[in-house]
Amino acid sequence: MSELHLHEKTLGKRDIFLFCISAVLLLDTLAAGAVMGPTVIFWWVILTIFFLVPFGAISTELGSAYPEQGGIYAWVKRAYGQKMASRISWYYWSNVAVWVPAIFILFAGVFSQIFMPDMSLTAQIIMGVVLIWIVVFVNVVALNVGKWIPNIGAAIKLIIFALLIIGGILYGMEHGIANEFTLATMIPSTENGGLSLQYLPAVVYGMLGFELASASSAEMKDPRKDLPKAVFSSIAVVVGAYILATTAILIAQPADKVDVVDGLMDTLGQFFGGSPLGDAFVVILGVGALYTFFSNGATWAMGANRAAAEAAIDDELPALFAVESKHGTPVGASILLGVSASILLILYGVMAGNNEDLFWSLFAFSGVIFMLPYVAVCTAFVKIRETHIGINGKIAEDGTFRFPGSPKFVKACAYLCAAILMVTITLFIYVPGEGVAWEVLWGAIGVIILGEVVTYRGTKKMKTATA
């Protein structure tokens, strides 16, 4: 049985909105999407219609109807029981332990580009490890303090995105456009390279995270009222910002010249650099971007650590995950994340040839693990919803947000979202024409096997306690 843990009610509608922006609006995936060229706009529009909006409705209904601490963990547990919830919670937490090193390698790469062009990969790895432990500290402090990390990060992101968009318009008017934007170049085809799917997972990846705030439902003031408004307003902002900012990068740079790690700073330099004042402004924007990378890591760690802590409180993950501070912050899960992320960053750093290879290997590895809990959420949503459908096929009106449409339509949308996620997982591991990314495959298998060991131990412990 879960123990009663009291949590301070500190998150209002503004906090939830900014939390979603901080978690989902990622500067680090902009360049990866721009590598696809103008076809990335097509994919953003299509996937927003057939994936992002339906999944946003799924996570919002679950989050507002079941405002339970742990978010994804609590929903999957409600549908499939404790063992599956334990497994999903492990994937969710493990993904962040892998993704945080990737984001901090990007941080170190941008830092090197701005301040230390000759910075070695070893030095960048050391910087990444230091940043990981700063995130651990941020996760341990009370949420009424820690929440300002994502809040400030969200505001800075919106400023940088806005400046990218304005800079792209002004640059295109003065210097012309580096890529042709027509219907023929935007619709995927073999001629424009739009059917090359290597970086398409980065688009789907950039659409996930709106459910993250629900991991802190017990710390929200009024989740039933505030969550739907915050989530859907943030979805509108995120989609518009991603499409316009990616277009801005493609205005400045040919798609085949965009660098996954350095593309953002290269673009800002083209837009605003060239003079002492302009170069200083680019440095300021670069520092702002660095802070957003840090806030991304801190935001995701906050959600994942809380989900893991709730699973451990129910004896489904090792007891160390359940250690909490007097403010209810996840001390044990945060420390374990710091240790795991540091080891992975050093291990993958030894195998990587440069920071771009290291970033994408860790990013793809985390992406595979990242998608698995979302597949479970889609199917869990269908199962949970069926318990609320009466003989007339309609859900009782209780003032809670509900996914609009008939039960069959809603069910089809949920399974479509699950299918898109499964295709994305496949593309992280195997890209047509490129082959299998073995370091990604074996890393994912290792996390899954370790998760089964953890799940088995947790189940055995629970049976012993029950007996």
What is the secondary structure of 86-148 as a DSSP string?
HHHHHHHHHHHHHHHHHHHHHHHHHHHHHT-TT--HHHHHHHHHHHHHHHHHHHHS-HHHHTH
Of 9-23, 26-40, 189-203, 342-356, the range with the lowest mean pLDDT is: 189-203
Residue 395 in this model has a pLDDT that exceeds 70: no
Assigned token pair, 298 = 């801190």
Handedness of CA 183, 187, 193, 194 (dihedral sign): positive
| Closest to 412 measured CA to CA, from 439, 385, 391, 394 | 385
The closest of 303, 292, 235, 398 to 70, measured between CA atoms, is 303
- Domain assignment present for residue 8? The answer is no
What's the pLDDT score for residue 32? 76
pLDDT of 460 over the 80 cut:
no
Residue 391 reports pLDDT greater than 50:
no
Q: How far apart are CA 435 and CA 233, in angstroms?
A: 39
Pair 307, 73: CB distance under 8 Å: yes
Q: Above 90 in pLDDT, residue 34?
A: no
Chain-centre distance for alpha carbon 310 = 20
Distances (CA, A) of 161 to 129, 298, 460: 28, 20, 49
Residue 46 has pLDDT above 90, yes or no: yes
Residue 280 within a domain: yes
Neighbours of 322 (CB within 10 A): 23
Answer yes or no: is 81 within a domain.
Answer: yes
The answer to whether residue 261 scores a pLDDT higher than 70 is no
Q: Please, what is the end-to-end C-alpha distance for the chain in angstroms?
A: 13
Residue 414: pLDDT above 90? yes
* Structural domain total, the chain: 1
Confidence of residue 89 (pLDDT cuts 50, 70, 90): confident
pLDDT category, 2, cuts 50, 70, 90? very low
pLDDT at residue 324, rounded to an integer: 84
412 pLDDT higher than 90? yes
More confident residue, 428 or 328: 428
Q: How far apart are CA 5 and CA 145, in angstroms?
A: 19
CB 303 within 8 A of CB 23: yes
Q: Which residue has the higher pLDDT, 262 or 115?
A: 115
Structure tokens at 430: 């195997």
Residue 127 pLDDT greater than 80, yes or no: yes
Judged against a pLDDT cut of 80, whether residue 303 lies above it is answered with no
C-alpha 164/C-alpha 448 separation (Å) is 39
Q: What is the mean pLDDT of residues 379-385?
A: 91
pLDDT at 379 over 90: yes
If we measure between CA atoms, which residue out of 440, 266, 443, 263 comes closest to residue 356? 263
Residue 197 lies in a domain: yes
Give the mean pLDDT of 36-62.
90
The domain spanning residue 359 has which CATH number?
1.20.1740.10
Q: Is residue 64 part of a domain?
A: yes
Please list the residues that pair with 330 across neighbouring strands. Answer: 324
For residue 4, pLDDT over 50 is answered with no
Rounded alpha-carbon distances, angstroms, from residue 33 to 36, 149, 199: 6, 26, 6
Residue 2 domain-assigned? Answer: no
Q: Is the pLDDT of residue 297 over 80?
A: yes
Q: Is the pLDDT of residue 262 over 90?
A: no
pLDDT, residue 51, reads 95
The amino acid present at 368, given as its one-letter code, is: V
Q: Residue 439 falls within a domain, yes or no?
A: yes
Residue 363 belongs to a domain: yes
Domain with 137, as residue range(s), is 13-390+397-466
- In the predicted model, what is the mean pLDDT of residues 205-215? 79
Q: What is the mean pLDDT of the chain?
A: 82
Residue 239 pLDDT class (50, 70, 90 cuts): very high
Look at residue 82 in the predicted model and tell me its pLDDT.
81
User: Each residue of 138-167: pLDDT tens digit?
Assistant: 887 755 556 677 778 888 888 999 999 999
Q: What pLDDT is stored for residue 284 in this prediction?
A: 93
Q: Name the nearest CA neighbour of 34 among 262, 188, 263, 363.
A: 263
